[in-house]
Amino acid sequence: MNLAKLKWAEELFLRRYPGGFSHPEMLAIAKKHKMDRMIALSHEMFAKKNFRDPPEIIESMIKLVSRSSMVSIFEKPKFRDFARSLEPKHKNALASGLKDQLHGDIEKGFNKVLNIMQIGKMAKWSLISICPVYYSPQDEVFVKPTTAKKAIAHFELLNLQYRPQPSWEFYTTFRATINEMKSKVDSSLSPNSAAFTGFLMMSMAAMEEADF
């Protein structure tokens, strides 16, 4: 990690938005993303007891994806149609995988979800990482391909090599790296992991303009 670039990104961002994500402009952006509402919704829909009804969990996943501002408008209907078309055994497996992701063995759950998503060529980073980041917004991370690729190159994250095909190896390393980066800057830049990656995206653009 190039710590000098990260600290320069922090300085530029806080100079432009004093108080980080508590700055009025950042609060306005956060309001559009409805992060608090989405976190509350995920906790309501994906409480452990609800996993006794796999079809309902699938509908809850569709609802969360459809309401998320972080998922592409092109992926939302594709995921809805895919999830609803799954055979019962595959719906059960997808719900079981999500349960593990949120309440049990995260690696096991990640791979279960990945295997089911591959059936319909729906193994997208956004779809695999969206539910966990809403359910555990401080610990889990949302993998947006463009941001991930740019951050790896810009901040010289030499332990990471992005691949379009989701994998647990990349996810767990990316998550650890993002959480380490969060610890190196002011806490106002990371009210949650999704906001922090938003800070990285915005600061990279600003640094390009400043020719850093």
Phi, psi of 53 (to 5 degrees): -125, 80
Which residues, including other chains, have CB under 8 Å from residue 61's CB and lie 6 or more apart?
A: 79, 83, 94, 98, 131
| pLDDT tens for each residue of the chain, 212 residues long | 899 999 999 999 999 999 999 999 988 887 888 889 999 999 999 999 999 999 999 999 999 999 999 999 999 999 999 999 999 999 999 999 999 999 999 999 999 999 999 998 999 999 999 999 999 999 999 999 999 999 999 999 999 999 999 999 999 999 999 999 999 999 999 999 999 999 998 888 766 665 55
Which residues, including other chains, have CB under 8 Å from residue 100's CB and lie 6 or more apart?
A: 106, 108, 109, 112
CA distance 119 to 125: 15
CA distance 121 to 95: 18
What angle separates helix 125-135 from helix 75-85, to the nearest 10 degrees? 90
pTM of the model: 0.90
The phi-psi region of residue 120 (left if phi > 0; otherwise alpha if psi is between -120 and 50; otherwise beta) is: alpha
Cα dihedral sign, 81-87-92-97: negative
CA distance 105 to 103: 7
- What is the per-residue pLDDT for 203? 87
Domain extent listing, the chain: 3-33+139-209, 37-135
Three-class DSSP category at 121: coil
CA distance 7 to 207: 11
Cα Rg for the chain, rounded, in angstroms?
Answer: 18
Compute the 3-state secondary structure of the chain and give helix, strand, coil in percent, each to the nearest 5.
75, 0, 25
Using one digit for the tens of pLDDT, what is the confidence trace for 142-196?
Answer: 999 999 999 999 999 999 999 999 999 999 999 999 999 999 999 999 999 999 9
User: Which residue type sits at 38?
Assistant: M
CA distance 175 to 190: 14
